[in-house]
Structures are given as structure tokens and as C-alpha cells.
Amino acid sequence: GQHYLKWDPSLAPEETSNLRFFKPVELSWYTLKAPAAFFSLLVPHDGPTTTTKTATTTIAETREAAKQLQFQLRGINLTSVRRLGFKGDPYFALYKRVDRPQGATWSKLYHSNVVRRNLNPEWETIELDLHQVTSSGDMNQEIKVVVYDHRIAGPHRKMGVFETSIGRFIEAKNNNNNNNGSNYTGDGRDDDDDVRFALMDKGKVMGHVSIF
């Protein structure tokens, strides 16, 4: 026979259980028929490696979640752009500013659902990847929201617009969520502490928009 190293757990004290102790043992030729099983004794199958992998996954998931921006916009006392007192069918589009050598342009990021016959619309909650808004992580990235009156025939008519930064957008969302929109009734009456963006058209306030 020949001498090989084989794991002997009786030689490992509890306080050093992560170390590997071996003692020489004599193995006959037929023991070597299963070398994979033999050498598997030398490879740890549990311990800190598994824990570290789990922790890394959790951190990655947390970072990924932080890249998502979920929010809901609500229109407050929007001014109708229709005649004869009709309320209109508002929807909004979200844009980001893109600076190019030939001049700045606005790139559309999102187009909301249409809320029929309502001047205090609550649009559907949406989720955006922040990389869509700012690939560099710049919270001063300029964005704008344009509210339109949807028309079945003919071009949709602009009701108003506001511009801000993505940082201010998120700050307003966090502020309003902390207030829980507690006094919001859906008819244009809202908490005085909520942050609202004035919707403007040709120098005239056309209502307000809150973010939650």
C-alpha cells in the first residue's frame, strides 16, 4: 500500500473547525477506484462561502431596486382647453433634456394613460429605470412633463407644461409620500404641505401637478 492524506475530523478542535487536519492512512489499490469521492473529502461544501454569496446577491438586488423610480402623477384643478365647459381627456408625456452639439432637444421617456372627462386626473403608477433618465447619475438632469388633452380626431392639444430636475422630482415625491397625501380627495383639494408643480402655458397657470 501507499500513504495518502485523508481527512480526520477527530483531529480538528472546535475552535479551529474551519481548518483542515489530515493524518496519513494506508490505502489499498482498490480504494483508488473512486478518486473523485476521495478528493471530495478535501473540498469544503459549506461555511463562509455560501453566506458570502447570499450577501452579495442581496446587495446586488438592493442596488438594482435603487435604480428604479416608481411614482404617480395627479393633476389638480387643470384648466380645460375645450369650449362649452367640457372637461377634456388629459394625459401626460415625460421628457428628458438631451444636449447635442447642434442644440438641446427633448427625448420622450413615457406616455401616460388617458383619463376621460376629468380635470383632477390620477394617472396610473409607473416605474422607470433611472438609467433611462440619467445615465451619469446626475440629479440635475432636466426633465419636463407636458399635459395634453387627448383628441379622437385631430392633434392633441397642450394643456400645460412644467420643467424641473430629476433630483427635485424625487424630492417632491418623497415629501408628498411622507405626508401620505392625507387630505387628498380627488376633487382638487389637497394637503397644503404637498409639493405641486405649476402647469404653465403662454405665461398662464393652467393648474398644478403633484407626484406621489
Beta bridge partners, 24, equal 5
Contact 117, 89 (CB under 8 A): yes
Q: How far apart are CA 161 and CA 167, in angstroms?
A: 18
pTM of the model: 0.66
The answer, yes or no, to whether residue 188 has pLDDT greater than 80, is: no
Q: Supply the pLDDT for residue 112.
A: 97
Q: What mean pLDDT is predicted for residues 34-60?
A: 44
Q: How far apart are CA 81 and CA 87, in angstroms?
A: 8
Chain position carrying cell 430629476? 166
Q: Supply the pLDDT for residue 17.
A: 43
Contact 158, 138 (CB under 8 A): no
Contact 211, 72 (CB under 8 A): yes
CA-based angle 164:95:203, to the nearest 5?
55
Q: What mean pLDDT is predicted for residues 179-186?
A: 57
What is each CA distance from 86 to 10, 99, 123, 193, in whole angstroms? Answer: 87, 39, 19, 30
Q: 2: pLDDT confidence band, cut at 50, 70 and 90? A: low
200 alpha carbon, distance to own chain's centre: 28
Query: For 77-121, what is each residue's pLDDT tens digit?
Result: 999 998 887 899 999 999 999 999 999 999 999 999 999 999 999
